[in-house]
Structure 1
Amino acid sequence: MRLPVWLAQHLAALRALLVLTAVVGLAYPLLLVGVGRIPGLSDRAAGSMTPVGSTLIGQSFTDAAGDPVPRYFQSRPSAAGDGYDPTATGASNLGPEDVVDTPARQSLLTRVCTRSLAVGKLEGVDGSRPYCTGDGVGAVLAVFHRDGFTGPITRVVSVNQTGTPFTATYRGVTVEPATGGQDYRALGGVITPIRGDAPDRPVVPADAVTAGASGLDPHISPAYATLQAPRVARERGLDLAGVQGMITAHTRDFLGERGVNVLDLNLALDGR
């Protein structure tokens, strides 16, 4: 006997519901659980949690005031929220042409310069970088020409400094300090970064002064870890060669680059 159309449609819908429930609600989750048990993936599927965090998500090793704890290796900077906030993952989205500070925020260049000086001070090394002033801001001038972009220079302003400019003159013209909130580009100034006499290869590595794209990077470069090794060895009373050996032991290939997992390394030092 042929079923009524309305009943046939309801039975078809019920069959589809049962099949999809079995496939999507049972088979697919069980398949993913099985994949998560594959050797090499099981630790990542479990989240790599430790009592003090996850080795897959970076974190800061600072005190209540936000200062680095000297006995620990430090992570790279983070632009995620207040730092390593998984709910605000992301980059600053500032590019290499972001060199002029504003009342609302520091430029990317000044952030890099400030961080480099801070790392240099912490590690007892030269924190200078090209295009940075000695006081840790972007070494940038607004150069005014008589005919707009050409002709004799009539005025020069150090746009990121309201105090004494990092250089007294530029091509024979006295350099002025900036006036807070003034947009010198809009006034016709040609924004001109000044390289300075910093070394071509700064002592402080790039990953020590720039944030990762996700803001959650748990790794640092071997170069940055090596820079920190003398401080950590001194603070912990350990042999420097032993600390360097631990860096090597915790260095892994990560997306085509060599990286050191900071949490893993610090936990190994605490265990030692």
Structure 2
Amino acid sequence: MRLPAWLGQHLAALRALLVLTVLLGLAYPLAFVALGRVPGLDGKADGSLITVGDKTVGSSLIGQAYTDADGNPVPKYFQSRPSAAGDGYDPTATSAGNLGPESVVDTLSDDPEVASQSLLTQVCERSLAVGKLEGVDGSRPYCTPDGVGAVLAVFYRDGLTGPVTRAVSVNQTGDPFVQTYAGVTVEPAKNGEDYQALGGVITPIRGNAPSSPAVPADAVTASGSGLDPNISPAYAELQAPRIARERGFTEARVRQLIEEHTDGRALGFLGEPAVNVLQLNLALDGEQ
């Protein structure tokens, strides 16, 4: 007996569904689970977890903060780069700050839910904090001495040209970081004012900071994921004197540990050398 065409089509579709379900819904995933159990790959499949004794202390793929209950850096540990993931290095809230080079003007307000820092001010503030912790000059170009973006809203007589008629330090409500600009007294900003909308030309001021800051860029900027477990060798080297002092090591020994935990460029040319902070800190603890 020949089946109706419509029924034959439905049966063919059902057979295809069953075959694909077995292949792609069962065999394929199980094959990869089995592959993840192969010695040498099983650790990566489980999240590259690191254990000390019977305790899991973290993952080599996810950074973590080394701070006390008040959020202050623990001096005897190498510090990670900043993180914008949740409250910091939260894998469930991985994200970037979504702020770019043009983010130089803070939102000033008495309401903490409205107020926000520009990327420039975040960098300036972090650089001063790192400089203080490490005992180096934390100043950076386009930053004020008190750690905010050194930015003016400059008003010209003819809009974008002509003599300067007004200048406002847009990130400071107190004393401006410069007293005058182009012969005009610089005003402090007022909360809630959008000086760019009023016709001001946003003008970052470079200042006298060195062109190559002592504090590396990765010490003051978060990674795209907010989970980067690594820092640059330059940032690790900056922290070496503090670590040696706090732990009673020689700086030479600390630098040797840094070198031992520095990974080179992938395939010899991709990316930059990096130091895994968790593994380096565990090595320090293992020395004592």
TM-score tier (shorter): over 0.9
| Alignment size in residue pairs | 272
Q: How far is 1:223 from its partner?
A: 0.4
Moved more, 203-212 or 9-18: 9-18
Which residue pairs with 2:273 in the alignment? Answer: 258
- The reply to whether residue 141 of structure 1 matches residue 156 of structure 2 is no
Which residue pairs with 2:245 in the alignment? Answer: 234
Given candidates 111, 133, 140, the residue that maps to 1:129 is: 140
Assess, with a 3 A threshold, how the Cα gap between structure 1 residues 13 and 190 changes in structure 2: closer, same or farther.
closer
Tell me the SS of whatever aligns to 2:273: strand
Given candidates 81, 87, 90, the residue that maps to 2:86 is: 81
Q: How far is 1:30 from its partner?
A: 3.2
- The reply to whether residue 23 of structure 1 matches residue 16 of structure 2 is no
Tell me the SS of whatever aligns to 2:167: strand
Q: How far is 1:233 from its partner?
A: 1.2
What does 1:8-47 align with in structure 2 at a 5 Å threshold?
A: 12=12, 15-37=15-37, 41-47=41-47
Aligned residue identity for 1:26: L
Assess, with a 3 A threshold, how the Cα gap between structure 1 residues 20 and 157 changes in structure 2: closer, same or farther.
same
Tell me the SS of whatever aligns to 1:157: strand
In the alignment, structure 2 segments of 5+ residues that lack a partner are: 51-55, 109-114
Q: How far is 1:58 from its partner?
A: 1.0
Identity %: 75
- The reply to whether residue 271 of structure 1 matches residue 286 of structure 2 is yes
Which residue pairs with 2:222 in the alignment? Answer: 211
Aligned residue identity for 2:70: A
Which residue pairs with 1:67 in the alignment? Answer: 72
TM-score, length of structure 2 as denominator length = 0.88
Q: How far is 1:147 from its partner?
A: 1.5
Which residue pairs with 2:201 in the alignment? Answer: 190
Given candidates 91, 96, 99, the residue that maps to 2:96 is: 91
Q: How far is 1:232 from its partner?
A: 1.1
Q: How far is 1:19 from its partner?
A: 2.6
Q: How far is 1:259 from its partner?
A: 0.5
Moved more, 207-216 or 172-181: 172-181
Q: How far is 1:35 from its partner?
A: 3.5
Give the Cα separation in 2 of the matches to 1:108 and 1:40: 41
Give the Cα separation in 2 of the matches to 1:158 and 1:13: 70
Moved more, 175-184 or 27-36: 27-36
Q: How far is 1:167 from its partner?
A: 1.0
Tell me the SS of whatever aligns to 1:67: coil
Q: How far is 1:187 from its partner?
A: 1.2
TM-score, length of structure 1 as denominator length = 0.93
Which residue pairs with 2:48 in the alignment? Answer: 48
Aligned residue identity for 1:30: L
Which residue pairs with 1:220 in the alignment? Answer: 231
Which residue pairs with 1:168 in the alignment? Answer: 179
